[in-house]
Amino acid sequence: MICTLLLQTGCAGNSARNFKLSNLAKSDIDNVTDIHIKEVRKLCRELTVKLYKRNPRELAKAPPGSTEKKRLAQIFSSQRIHGFSELGGAKGTAAITLSFSEEYQGDRVFALMAGISSMLYSAYSYQDEFFILDEIDQQKLYNSARNLETVAWQLNNRRDNNGERYLLSNGISADGIRNLSYERLFGKLIGLQDMMAMLIADSTNRNITRVVQSAASMTFLPI
């Protein structure tokens, strides 16, 4: 009887996604959270690649031997939890702030994306996967979305002492075509974080403290 059941289960698996024993320890909201985390990571990687292509001079400021592939591996490594020595131990919003600092002479794309990546990782309690007993804070998710709005504004508007943008992103080509692909990526990230915050708040019956903050603010909300 057991063998028959196992065979039937195996056959069914050919037309469905592979079953994992760990899924038994997951609620529906855990599965949704896992999907959100994967999508957030994918969008952040896409944003990193686009910024390096738009700002090749920044990769030239990186340590010798650095490549775009190596920078991506660093940005999404476990070092996000402890802070990056290259950035003086900065992570999260501190690293983001560094990327728009006049004094900082290093790779600004790395500082920005290492900051965004570690901030979002923190919002998910530094976890890549969630299970039934794991908790997630809806306020951190909400705050991270507002911080992304601030980053998007700074990316388009912050300039150095020479009046040049610290990092190039959205722009208009020579033939007048507007490139808003960076703005769309930020919009997707913000939407994911807001949706996840609402889902967690609804599933736990906890409230989100909504903050009225201008996107042009120079400060970030705590995560």
Cα–Cα distance, 122 to 81 (Å, whole number): 8
Task: Assign 176 a pLDDT band (cuts: 50, 70, 90).
Answer: low
Q: What is the pLDDT of residues 46-91, one digit of tens each?
A: 999 999 999 999 999 999 999 999 999 999 999 999 999 999 999 9
Q: Does 141 map to a domain?
A: yes
Q: Does 220 map to a domain?
A: no
Q: What is the pLDDT of residues 94-151, one digit of tens each?
A: 999 999 999 999 999 999 999 999 999 999 999 999 998 899 999 999 999 999 999 9
Q: Does 19 map to a domain?
A: no
Q: Are strands 178-179 and 171-172 parallel, antiparallel or unpaired?
A: antiparallel
Q: How many CB atoms lie within 10 A of CB 52?
A: 20
Q: Does 7 map to a domain?
A: no
Show the tokens assigned to 111.
């500082």
Q: Does 55 map to a domain?
A: yes
Q: Is 111 helix (H, G, I), strand (E, B) or coil?
A: helix
- Which of 23-32, 199-208, 209-218 has the highest mean predicted lDDT (pLDDT)? 199-208
Q: Does 218 map to a domain?
A: no
Cα–Cα distance, 190 to 181 (Å, whole number): 14
Determine the pLDDT at residue 171.
82
Residue from 116, 95, 150, 115 nearest 40 by CA: 116
- Which residues, other chains included, contact 15 with Cβ-Cβ below 8 Å and sequence gap of 6+? none
**Residue the block writes with tokens 């030239």:** 60
Average pLDDT over residues 165-188: 87
How many Å is the Cα radius of gyration of the chain? Answer: 20
Q: Is 37 helix (H, G, I), strand (E, B) or coil?
A: helix
Show the tokens assigned to 42.
């994918």
Q: Does 14 map to a domain?
A: no
Helices (H), the chain: 2-13, 28-54, 56-59, 68-75, 79-82, 92-99, 108-123, 138-157, 181-204
83: left (phi over 0), alpha (psi -120 to 50) or beta: left
Q: What is the pLDDT of residues 3-42, one digit of tens each?
A: 443 334 444 444 445 556 556 679 999 999 999 999 999 9
Q: Does 143 map to a domain?
A: yes
Report how many domains make up the chain: 1
**Residue the block writes with tokens 């290093």:** 106
Whether the per-residue pLDDT at 201 is higher than 60: the answer is yes
Cα-Cα-Cα-Cα dihedral of 150, 152, 55, 98, to 10°?
Answer: 10
Show the tokens assigned to 124.
């998910």
Determine the pLDDT at residue 212.
81
Range of the domain at 34: 26-204
Determine the pLDDT at residue 95.
98
Task: Assign 2 a pLDDT band (cuts: 50, 70, 90).
Answer: very low
**Residue the block writes with tokens 């769309």:** 184
Q: How many CB atoms lie within 10 A of CB 11?
A: 9
